Amino acid sequence: MNAQAMLLAPWRATHVQLRWLSLAVLTLCALGAIALLLFAKRGEPAWMMVGAYDVGLIYLWAFFLSGMSLLAIEARWLCLPGMYRTAVLATVFYAVLSLLPTAIIAVVHGTDQMSMLLGSLLCVLGGLCFALLPRYVAVFLGMFPALFNMLSRVYNLPHIGDARFVSWGSTLAMALLVVCVLRWRAVTAKPAQGQMGFSGPMVLQYRRGHWAGGSAINGLDATTQVRQRPDWMQPQPDLRHVGPSQPDNTLRVALGGWYLPRTLRGHLQGLAPGLLAMLVPCSILFLTFLGNHAFSFHAWWPLAMLLIGWIAMFGSMGLMFTTIMLIQQRWKKNNAELPLLALLPGLGNAHTVKQRTLMVALRRPLVLQMGALIALIALILPSHPSAISMLLLVVGQFGCAAALIACVIAAIGGRPLAPSGMFSLMISISLLIGSNSFLTSSQPGSRLWTPPLAYSLVLLAGWIIVSMVIAWMGRRGWIAWKSRPHAFMPNG
C-alpha cells in the first residue's frame, strides 16, 4: 500500500471547488471558535472549541471525506483491490486523525476527555452515515438534533457532559458504526449507475459536483434528473394551449423545468420535492416548540409567523437559484437542441425572438418574487416594524429579483458569470437573506425587534457590494444580449 496515495485519497476523490469550500468551512469554524471563546464563561473554553470543531467535522465527513467511498466503488468494479484497500484504510486513518484535535484540547484543558472524544466520534460517524444512507433517509437526518432535544426532555436522555453520556454515547457510536459498515458494503457492492435514484446514497450525488458550486449552476443535467425520478413524480404537461398561436406557452414547454405548463396533478407533483424539503426545517421548529410551549394560539402564532416568513424569503431565494440554474443549463449545452428552437412557428424574427425569450424567462419568477414581497410586508405590518427592519426586508427581496434579472440576461446574452463567481454570489445572497430571517418572529400587535445600527449598516454594506456586482454583471450581459444575433445560440 502506498502511504502517499492513502493521504491524498480524499483530495483526489473530490472536485476542486469542494476542496476549497471545505477549507473555507474549516476556517469559518476556527473563527467561530475564537469568537465563542470571547464570550465563554470560566471553565467553558474547551467545550467551546470542541463544539466549533465538531460542526466542521460533520460537514467534512458528510461532503468531503466521505468521497473516499466513491474511490472504493470504482476500485471494486474496476477490479483494483489495491485502490480499494487504500480507500478503506484512508477512511479509517482520517477518522482517527479527526479525533486528534479533540484529544489534544481535552488533555491540555484537563476536562472530560471521554465525553469530548465521544462527541467528536458521533459527529464523524453521523456525517458518514448521512453520505452513505439513501437520499430519502438522509434528507431527514437534519431533524435528529431537534428530535433528540425533545426526547431528552420527555425521557431524560443524557447530554454531553452528563455522567451517563459515556455509556449512552458509546452505544450510539457502536450503532452508527454498524450502519456505516453495512452501508459501505452495500454501496460498493453495486455499480454506481444502478444507484442513481432516490434509493441511492447521497455520496453519489457528489460525483457531478452538485455541492461544489460549479456543476450545481452550469453542469447539472436536467434530463438525468428527470429520469431519476420515480414514475409518480414524472412531469404531467398541459399542452392544450401550445402552438403557433401561443408562442409564449411554446417557449415555456421548450424551457422545461418549472416553466412547463402542467395539469393540476402535475403542479402538485412539481411541488412535492419542495414540500418535502421544507418538511425538515418545519419539523425541527415544530419539535423545538413542542418541548417548550402548550397548544394555544398565543404560543403557536409566532411559529406560524416564522414559518410563513421563512417560506416567503427562502422560497423566493430558492426560486431565483432554480431559475438561474435552469436557464444557464439550457444555454450551456453545445448541441443542436437549443438552435432547433428557432424553427418553432409563430416566434417572429430574430429580434422578436430575443425579446420574447427574455420576457418568458423573467415574467413568472418576477411575479412570484413580488408576491413574496407583498406577503412579507403584509405579515410584518401588524407588528409595527421599524423603518430599518422594513428596509432590510425590501432590499433583500429586490436584491434577489435584481440578481435573477442580471443572471438570466447574462446567460441568454452569452456572458454568464464563471462558476466560482456564481457560487460566491449565491453564498453572499444566502448569508444576507439568512440574516433577515429573525425579522418575522414577533407576535402580532407587538413591535418587531429592531436590529442594532451597526448590524444594519453591515447588512446594507453587504447588499451594496452585492448590488455593484449584480449591476456590473447585468450591464455586461445586456450589452452581449443586444449584440447577439439570435437568442437560441448555446454558450458551450
Q: Write out the DSSP string of 44-78.
A: -HHHHHHHHHHHHHHHIIIIIGGGHHHHHHHHHHT
Q: Are 202 and 183 in contact (CB under 8 A)?
A: no
Residue 462 is predicted with a pLDDT of 86
Task: Name beta bridge partners: 201.
Answer: 134
Task: Say whether pLDDT at 122 is over 80.
Answer: yes
Let me know if 40 is exposed, middle or buried by CB neighbors in 10 A (0-12, 13-18, 19+). Answer: middle
CA dist 206 and 70 (Å) reads 9
Average pLDDT over the chain reads: 76
CB 416 within 8 A of CB 492: no
Query: Which of the residue ranges 84-88, 308-312, 318-322 would you say has the lowest mean pLDDT?
Result: 308-312
Cβ–Cβ contacts within 10 Å for residue 10, how many? 21
Cell (9 digits) for 190: 453495486
* From 187-196, 325-334, 396-405, the region with the lowest mean pLDDT: 187-196
- Quickly count helices (H) and strands (E) in the chain: 18, 0
> Could you report the per-residue pLDDT of 43-98, keeping only the tens digit for each?
566 777 787 788 888 888 888 888 888 888 888 877 778 888 888 888 889 888 88
Average pLDDT over residues 2-12: 76
- The total number of residues shown for the chain amounts to 492
What is the average pLDDT across 119-123? 88
Identify the residue whose cell numbers are 406557452: 249
pLDDT band for position 282 (cuts 50, 70, 90): low
Give dist(CA 100, CA 253) in Å, integer: 55
User: Each residue of 130-177: pLDDT tens digit?
Assistant: 888 887 676 666 556 655 665 666 566 676 766 777 888 888 889 999
- Give the pLDDT score at 213: 38
Please report the pLDDT score of residue 48 as a whole number.
Answer: 73
- pLDDT(381) > 90: no
pLDDT at 88: 86
How high is the pLDDT of residue 335?
Answer: 66
The string of pLDDT tens digits covering residues 425-476 is 888 888 788 777 666 554 444 455 567 777 778 888 888 999 999 999 999 9
For position 107, what pLDDT does the model report? 80
User: What confidence tier does 210 reach under pLDDT thresholds 50, 70, 90?
Assistant: very low
DSSP symbol at 239: -
Q: Does residue 402 have a pLDDT over 70? A: yes
Q: Is the pLDDT of residue 28 over 80?
A: no
Taking the C-alpha atoms of residue 484 and residue 492, their distance in angstroms, rounded to an integer, is: 15
The DSSP secondary-structure symbol of 450 reads P
